[in-house]
A = this chain, B = another copy of it.
Amino acid sequence: MTTVSPVTLRALDAPGQPTPSADLDALYRGFERELLVPLWTEIGDLMPTTPTPRATAHRWRWSELLRLARRSGDLVPVGRGGERRAIALANPGLGGRPFATPTLWAAIQYLNPREDAPVHRHTQHAFRFVVEGEGVWTVVDGDPVAMRRGDFLLTPGWRFHGHHNRSDAPMAWLDGLDIPFAHAMDATFFEFGPDEVDDRSTPARSRSEQLWAHPGLRPVSSPGPSVSSPIAAYRWEHTDAALADQLALESAGHPGVVEPGHAAVRFTNPTDGGDVLPTLRAEMHRLRPGAVTAARREVGSSVWQVFDGEGRVTVGDRAWDVTAGDLVAVPSWAASTLAAGDRALDLFRFSDTPIYERLHAHRVAVAGQGQGKAPGQEGTAT
């Protein structure tokens, strides 16, 4: 049994507090009774000089994820209710919740041969990234989309979608969503669809690609800008070529790369040139053998997944060797650096940056390029 109020106890840790007294304690008990909390005991936590995320940097090994996913394939059926055989990263700083960062969900999803994941829809935005394998089609609002190694696939919010494995091998991939953000924001709607996908055809290209995946071209029949990208699949052959082109330009002495030895492309919504989803940014990065990136801080969190090659990821004072499939969560404002090994290093990255950009709360600082400008200082919208 405490003899002082919780607010008093909490104030013990805070600097610059009023002199403790019985009167003060009585005041604090009054706060408690009336569901009130003073700023002066909380300001250090709520208003730090720079972000102090509870989430921490962490590396997950793909080999372990895959091992446990396979075991889940043995023990856990996929069906109505559970909906998906997906196993999510749980950031060690976030209390055991399945949140890679405060805003981002990252999970391995696993489908046995000839298995179906039932159709549903939700307001959370989703994508898939395929580190290895093929054979699954995800059917998005009736459009069957083949999933193959290196592909980046979209399921924007509120589109019905189910998956089915048409091959005799299991398949695993990365799911990325804004589930933690939508959960924190109480903005989640969900609806069941049929238990099976309605179109079991297996075209190599989705209809969305036939309409939209031509460089710089749009169908005249389409209406104006859409909230999310209409391209259901960004194929590896295009991503790979774009990265190779940037490095070729660098070799020829022309601009294009982010920094020496570091090519990067962003997946975009062709209807407005912006991010693929309102809350999620996705990019592919390629480092030449031996290249090291400048340390970079950014408001907002991100997750990296190695696609090919080997290297080292440093976040703050921690560093991990990484290989294909490995995942690293990067908290807000943590300085991160990538280094390729003897081979080129390809990495997929997704982040919550669009949220900050749309709210004018984004700030970036790159080592050697000066401090990031505070968003409020700009004065003028961008």
Contacts and interface: CB of A to CB of B under 8 A. Distances in A.
A318 interface: no
A270 B216 contact: yes
Contacts of A183: 45-46
A377 interface: yes
A267 B356 contact: no
Contacts of A368: none
Interface stretch (A163-171, A222-230, A305-313): A222-230
A306 B190 CA distance: 35
A220 B84 contact: no
A225 B272 CA distance: 9
Contacts of A239: 214, 217
A232 to B, nearest CB: 10
Q: Which size class do A's interface residues fall under? A: 35 or more
A133 to B, nearest CB: 20
Contact of A227 (B103, B188, B379): B379
A118 to B, nearest CB: 11
B248 A210 contact: yes
A241 interface: yes
Interface in A61-96: 61, 64-65, 68, 71-72, 74-77, 79-92, 96
A50 B189 contact: yes
Interface string A276-305: 101100010100000000000001110000
Contact of A221 (B34, B68, B264, B358): B264
A149 B15 CA distance: 34
B123 A375 contact: yes
A84 to B, nearest CB: 5
Nearest to A228: B376
A185 interface: yes
A220 B264 contact: yes
Contacts of A1: none
A158 B377 contact: yes
A241 B92 CA distance: 49
Contacts of A211: 245-246, 249, 256
Nearest to A41: B82
Contacts of A82: 16-18, 39-40, 43
